[in-house]
Amino acid sequence: MNKKTAKWSLEDIEALYHLPFNDLIYKAQTIHRENHDPNKIQVSTLMSIKTGGCPEDCKYCSQSIKYNTNVEIEKLLSVDDVVAQAKAAKDSGASRFCMGAAWRNLNDSNLSKIKDMVKAVKSLNLETCLTLGMLKKEQAESLKECGLDYYNHNLDSSEEYYSKVVSTRTYRDRLNTLSYVRDAGIKVCTGGILGLGEENIDRLKLIEVLCNMEEQPESVPMNKLVKIEGTPYSDNENVDNFDFIKVIAIARITMPKTYVRLSAGRDTMNDEMQALCFFAGANSIFYGDELLTTKNSSINHDKNLLDKLRIKTI
């Protein structure tokens, strides 16, 4: 991916949003075909290696200690437990294994064990990804040295709306971690969540930030809010399906080489909506019946859907 990327103005992105739906999807599919095989999907699996007890107050999250969501606090898993699940993920067709911990930030005391997990998963010929909260510069460099491929750190929404979603960290905190990750030579995985109560303009501003990074993210997960009882967002309005598909299309147009992933919330999408998302440029999904602590589309259902669409996994 080129170090220097074309700059997209918010006005340009808004113009894409207001295109007739068929024109937008056609444009996205055209660009998608120029940069990717339209009949292949990259498959990742996400595992919770440390569940519950997070001190952050993200209003969508079941793992925050601020909310009563019946998620039990668990200790950091052993390397053997992680390897066992990584092997199962690979056998199911995943090519990337993502490990997530409910932390505000990675503590140096846990760094050695995390590095052992990365090395063990890489030994299975799987790509590795971590999402552990905020990092320090030295931690990012250390993770690169042990072979980490990707680091996930979602921006969630626009900078203007972000303070309404979480108060225990800032948008700048997120951008700083992404900068450390990029400078260390680790591939960047960052995206957003639709359905947090934001307006469409916030979704477009999120894409504006992502696509105008000096080097565009290699992976952009787009999540549809999973409404969890006990969290402040449990009664939020559903995201309009067409708005979600349009965001996927705009992400593809503005970030041609990026893997755009359908992430949380796929279990609430019917097959036809997912097929339209793939046509709009999504080319990555999470396999597995659970994403951290939330329900996901089953592996068997995903395999049947991809078989119907004649889409192969990579």
Q: What is the pLDDT of residues 237-255, one digit of tens each?
A: 999 999 999 999 999 999 9
| Beta-bridge mates of residue 224 | 194
Question: What pTM does this model have?
Answer: 0.92
Q: Give the active site residues.
A: 54, 58, 61, 98, 129, 189, 261
Count of H-run helices and E-run strands, the chain = 11, 12
* Confidence class for position 12, pLDDT limits 50, 70, 90: very high
Dihedrals φ, ψ of 259, to 5°? -80, 115
Angle (CA) 281-191-203 rounded to 5° is 80
Exposed, middle or buried: residue 112 (CB in 10 Å: 0-12, 13-18, 19+)? exposed
* Confidence class for position 42, pLDDT limits 50, 70, 90: very high
Burial 79-103 (b: 16+ CB within 10 A, else e): beebbebbeebbebbbbbbbbbbbb
- Domain ranges in the chain are 10-307
Residue found under tokens 């056609």: 26
* Confidence class for position 2, pLDDT limits 50, 70, 90: very low
Q: What is the mean pLDDT of the chain?
A: 92
Segment among 44-58, 100-114, 159-173, 282-296 with least mean pLDDT: 282-296
Q: Quick check: 134 pLDDT over 90?
A: yes
Mean pLDDT of 124-145: 95
Domain at 10-307, CATH from 3.40.640.10, 3.20.20.70, 3.40.50.20, 3.40.50.2300: 3.20.20.70
pLDDT at site 69: 85
Q: Quick check: 171 pLDDT over 50?
A: yes
* Confidence class for position 314, pLDDT limits 50, 70, 90: confident
